[in-house]
């Protein structure tokens, strides 16, 4: 069965709302040109990805808009059966199970990250797997019967941005602590996800990308891994 193109898989539900939230950032970012082309040679050691121009961090209104769009996409999320075939092509079998246990809005977000990278011709398989699983660790909240839904994520991201030390102080790595465990999952989801990905037969590089996807890189990327991380963070921040 042929693999459908990302464009043919755009969900039809709530089309007007989606198109509105898709077109505004495009207009606002018309002056920002992203030019990224994978040029990975077959020899692993010196492989490089040409990051000739990665757009700078978007200005605040655009970042707010991306967050709003992520929220709308989250509450109207839909993943088609055909898209699950795409996921099955990218992930090892065990990791596919992990993906299936992610909430629908997280699956939608992860697919959107993957499609954005694919639109830029970035076909690194480790990066593609990381795109699909970078937020899988958030599913750990399911241990206390809660999902980090779009309604919870917004306030958490805001609190984390405004009061990071307060959040870190309250977080508890103990499911019995209820909402404090939620804070822990929010903060620790990169390391939780990396551990799950390793257990699910993902590559070392995929696990490394997941573990570091919330890190702030100082300066421009120096290694191939850091280049992929920069690309993952770029696509993540815009979806
Ligand atoms: Fe994340
Ligand atoms: Fe994400």
Those residues with Cβ within 8 angstroms of residue 77's Cβ, 6 or more apart along the chain or in another chain: 11, 104, 105, 107, 108, 109
C-alpha 133 – ligand 1 centre gap (Å): 9
The total number of structural domains in the chain stands at 1
Among the residue ranges 50-59, 135-144, 212-221, the one predicted with the least confidence is 50-59
CA of 159 to the centre of ligand 1 (A): 15
If you average pLDDT over residues 221-225, what whole number do you get?
92
Whole-number pLDDT of residue 66: 75
- What is the domain range of residue 74? 15-27+53-237
Asked whether residue 138 is domain-assigned, the answer is yes
Q: Is 65:22 a contact under the CB 8 Å cutoff?
A: no
Is the pLDDT at 138 greater than 70, yes or no? yes
Measured in Å, residue 112 CA sits from the centre of ligand 2 at 10
Give the model confidence (pLDDT) of 153-185 as tens digits: 778 888 888 888 888 999 999 999 988 999 999
Torsion sign (Cα): 143, 92, 214, 239: negative
Distance 222 CA to ligand 2 centre (A): 23
Q: How far is ligand 1, taken at its centre, from the CA of residue 220, in Å?
A: 21
Residue 48, domain member (yes or no):
no
Ligand whose nearest atom lies closest to the CA of 238: 2
**197 inside domain:** yes
Model confidence at 92, pLDDT cuts 50, 70, 90, reads: very high
pLDDT tens for residues 63-77? 777 777 777 777 777
Question: Cβ neighbours of residue 161 under 8 Å, at least 6 residues apart?
Answer: none
Q: Which residue has the higher pLDDT, 45 or 93?
A: 93
For residue 20, how far is its CA from the centre of ligand 1 (angstroms)? 25
Asked whether residue 171 is assigned to any structural domain, the reply reads yes
How far is Cα 111 from Cα 104, in angstroms, rounded to an integer? Answer: 11
Q: What is the pTM of this model?
A: 0.74
CA of 237 to the centre of ligand 2 (A): 7
What does pLDDT average to over the chain?
A: 80
- Is 40 domain-assigned? no
pLDDT, one tens digit per residue, over 5-64 is: 544 545 555 545 555 555 544 444 443 334 434 434 333 444 556 565 466 677 777 777
pLDDT at position 54, please?
64
Secondary structure (H, E, C), 35-80: EEEEECCCCCCCCEEEEEECCCCCCHHHHHHHHHHHHHHHHCCCCC
Domain-embedded: residue 36: no
pLDDT at 50: 58
Residue 46 maps to a domain? no
Q: Is residue 42 part of a domain?
A: no
């Amino acid at each position: 069965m042929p693999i459908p193109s990302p464009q043919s898989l755009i969900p039809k539900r709530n089309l007007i709302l989606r198109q509105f939230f898709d077109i505004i950032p495009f207009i606002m970012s018309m002056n920002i040109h992203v030019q990224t082309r994978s040029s990975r040679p077959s020899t692993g050691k010196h492989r490089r990805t040409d990051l000739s121009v990665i757009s700078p961090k978007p200005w605040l209104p655009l970042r707010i808009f991306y967050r709003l769009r992520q929220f709308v996409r989250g509450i109207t999320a839909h993943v088609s059966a055909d898209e699950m075939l795409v996921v099955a092509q990218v992930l090892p079998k065990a990791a596919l199970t992990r993906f299936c246990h992610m909430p629908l809005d997280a699956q939608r977000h992860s697919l959107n990250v993957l499609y954005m990278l694919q639109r830029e011709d970035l076909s690194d398989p480790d990066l593609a797997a990381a795109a699909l699983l970078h937020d899988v660790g958030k599913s750990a909240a399911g241990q206390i019967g809660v999902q980090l839904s779009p309604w919870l994520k917004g306030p958490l991201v805001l609190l984390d941005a405004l009061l990071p030390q307060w959040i870190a102080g309250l977080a508890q790595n103990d499911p019995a602590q209820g909402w404090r465990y939620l804070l822990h999952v929010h903060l620790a989801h990169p390391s939780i996800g990396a551990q799950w990905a390793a257990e699910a037969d993902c590559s070392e590089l995929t696990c490394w990308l997941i573990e570091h996807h919330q890190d702030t890189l100082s300066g421009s990327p120096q290694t191939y891994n850091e280049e992929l991380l920069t690309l993952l963070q770029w696509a993540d921040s815009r979806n």
